[in-house]
Structure 1
Amino acid sequence: MNWTRKTTISVAAALVVLVVAVVLYVRRDSSPGGTSADPGPATSSQPSTGPSTAETPWTGTWAVAVQNGGRSFDQQTVRQILRASIGGDTVRVKLSNEFGSDPLTVSAVYLAQHLQANTVDTATNAQVTFNGTDSVTIPAGQTAVSDAVQFTLPAGGDVAVSAYVPARIGSVTQHSFANRHNYVAAGNQSAKASLSGAQTFDNYAFLAGVDVQNAQSEGAVVTLGASITDGFDSTFSENRRWPDQLSRRLLTANRTVGVLNAGISGNQLTKDGAGQSALNRLDRDALQQTGVKWVIFSDAAINDLGDDNPPSGDELIQALQQLIQRTHDAGLKFYCATLTPYEGTDYWNEQGEAGRDAVNAFIKADGSGCDAVIDLDTATHDPNDPRRYNARFNSGDWLHPNDAGMEAIAAAVDLNLFQ
């Protein structure tokens, strides 16, 4: 082998490379803005992908707290009506079998604009799928979240969710108090404008939530409480609960905050009964809601005070401290609402009033851990008799506010809390 020739060729090649490198360097250095210290941006013949654009996050626009003890269905269409808090152009639906003992199968699920009674605008019909199919079987104890659906849902708009239950299912997961009529009819009528032979029922069945994608969303607030939050004694079918009225205030202020009502009538802070206690359902019904940033804890402890063996004020405070700590551990804000008056009810007594006073004093004190105080007591009580409702706000049972009382509660919430 001729080693001399090979070495000569290698040296020549190296000189060529060196010359080319010098020329390229000079060209870069003489370009506008280019210096030897700042060579300017590098170029590439490959297309630049750049940073990927994150998908618009989901936010809950409507939800209910789920319970056991719902009705049965068998080869029937279930049409349920809800009012959105914030709008969006992409929607998904949550169906719950949390308290079922058997698998729940639903099919032919549709979203549509609600018109009146059981009638929808079929021009807006949008079929909801689950993993690309029109049917889903939800195991006992589980929740199914649908695929994203292109559907224009206006803020404050009413939407119907229709679903066909093709085989008998016993007691379904429910929310026991809808404060409006929902509808059930024989056969698969999900895509029809009006249901033939429809009957009404006044709870929510297996429908747990609706989420939207909205680039302007600021997040969601969950209102966790009992019958006052659930809207008991507010005008039927008019969406006059205080969380509804809070949502309207936010919309009027041009705020895009989802309001999710997790009230359960009869619910307690410390004991299961009408639904799981607030302690036991906090994660599912509040902390795990879609897009949640804030939790308002309201009126559940009033029902503890009316129990046959009521907890002391200290015991209620300890339970409330657990809620606060767990919410903070989840990275969320916890807003404490003072307990409204209830003297005049058949279960009021001095011991219970002392418990209410203790809870309210704790909430208002420095160091409670509450990120803010919403003073529903002051907003609703009679200034001349603070143990009782202001007559303008009393529904008549001395426990639940009327529509004006619901409005007063919503007005007590500072919208600047949702920043």
Structure 2
Amino acid sequence: MARQWVAGFRSAVVSPYEAIQFVEPRGFRDQTVRQVLRMAGGGDELRVRLSNRHGRSALVIGEARVAERGVAGGIIPETDTALRFDGASDVVVPAGEEVVSDPVALPVAAGADLVLSLHLPEETGLATWSHQSGEPTYVARGNRAGAADLPGAERVEARFLVTGVDVLAPEGTAVAVAFGDSWFGGVGTTVGANRRSVDVLNERLGRGWVVNQGIAGNRLLTDEIGERALARFDRDVLSVPGATHVLVHFGINDLALPGMFGLPPATADELVAGFTELARRAREAGMAIHAATIGPFAGAIYPGHNTPEGLARRREVNEWIRTGDAFDAVFDVARAVADPARPDHIRPEFDCGDGMHLNDAGARAMAESVDLDALRL
């Protein structure tokens, strides 16, 4: 059977030097960083993508290993496999660069938890990261990359230095990219429980294969927490191996975050132009594009987020998304999670408690708003 490399896991990363709320950036020195990676798709072989994209000095990786997950931060020892880079067990990644490991024969299934362990022997500086990953990372002193368990390890809710895992899968395997903000990233859902909307969508599909490129706080139009969607689209969507579909969820941060700094929200015309440009670029690349309506955020507890202008523009853009022909399909997240009595608010049973993000039940409702027949994976 002919096979090809496709994305089995993806993690969009941001610079640790940007202003990030709630989570402090960090670096490492003579520490092991063990990360749990939930696989959207599986195959007989894999290779890992590591990034120093936003680093300011060379990144030294002394050892890298992958294994199937055991309990908590533990691994199943008989699956423990060393990664190599052009045959070497260590690698130096220059500032601004990325590296792909040599392929290894470690079968991994869709929905499985792959564990990546990195020993970082030298000072890293602030590390390129995914600041609210929804998965635990375990940090231990010294080189414990091959250890079965990491007792006493620090547990951190962030992901560092890894941008993806490619798997060798049957030729013609189709991959969808969930390209968006925290509503794909899973902020508000139970950490480590894999109840993000993208996880639920993969469960609904049965065979998986929607990879998650959500960044909490990311915007369609403006750089701040990560490059704006229009700037990162080529790297985080078009360059994903096997990608044939893209699902987009943007707009909340363009409408709500500016108020924190006393700035006006994006206009409806600006958002429409941005969505139209994404659709044009996806279709030029031969990809189908599916768009979400912008979810409600009137109950947001964060200063400046809830403004009459922003909410009015949300309603205007949503009407354009629902009635226009820019996209191959629309999934109406806004209606799926809105409080019927107060449609600018999240339904109480779907609200994680901050008025702006979905809990586990809300993330499931978001995933269930996607028409699987229209997705055709």
TM-fit CA distance, 1:141:
1.5
Separation of aligned partners in 1, 2:264 and 2:342: 27
The match for 2:251 is 301
| Structure 1 residue runs of 4 or more that deviate by more than 6 Å after TM superposition | none
Q: Which amino acid aligns with 1:181?
A: P
Larger relative contact order (Cα-Cα within 8 Å, sequence gap ≥ 6): 2
Contact 2:110–2:209, Cα closer than 8 Å, also in 1: no
1:109 to 57, 64, 84: 64
Within-5 A mapping of 1:64-213: 64-69=11-16, 70-195=25-150, 197-213=152-168
Is the counterpart of residue 267 in structure 1 residue 224 in structure 2? Answer: no
The match for 2:320 is 362
Is the counterpart of residue 384 in structure 1 residue 331 in structure 2? Answer: no
The match for 2:357 is 400
Q: Which amino acid aligns with 2:328?
A: D
Tell me, what secondary structure is at the counterpart of 1:324? helix
Is the counterpart of residue 289 in structure 1 residue 244 in structure 2? Answer: no
Separation of aligned partners in 2, 1:397 and 1:167: 39
Within-5 A mapping of 1:37-48: none
Give the gaps of 5 or more residues in structure 1.
1-52
Q: Deviations over 1:260-281 (max 9, x none)?
A: 1111111111111111111121
TM-fit CA distance, 1:152:
1.6
Separation of aligned partners in 2, 1:159 and 1:186: 21
The match for 1:3 is none
TM, length-normalised to structure 1: 0.82
Is the counterpart of residue 61 in structure 1 residue 18 in structure 2? Answer: no
Q: Taking every aligned residue pair, what percent have the same amino acid on both sides? A: 36
TM-fit CA distance, 1:325:
1.4
TM, length-normalised to structure 2: 0.91
Query: Which protein shows a greater Rg?
Result: 1
Q: Size of the alignment, in residue pairs?
A: 360
TM-fit CA distance, 1:414:
1.4
Q: Which amino acid aligns with 1:370?
A: F
Relative to structure 1, the CA distance from residue 294 to residue 191 in structure 2 (aligned partners, 3 Å threshold; closer, same or farther) is same
Contact 1:59–1:217, Cα closer than 8 Å, also in 2: no
Q: CA RMSD in A?
A: 1.6
TM-fit CA distance, 1:349:
2.3
Separation of aligned partners in 1, 2:38 and 2:275: 30
Contact 1:314–1:358, Cα closer than 8 Å, also in 2: no
Separation of aligned partners in 2, 1:379 and 1:196: 42
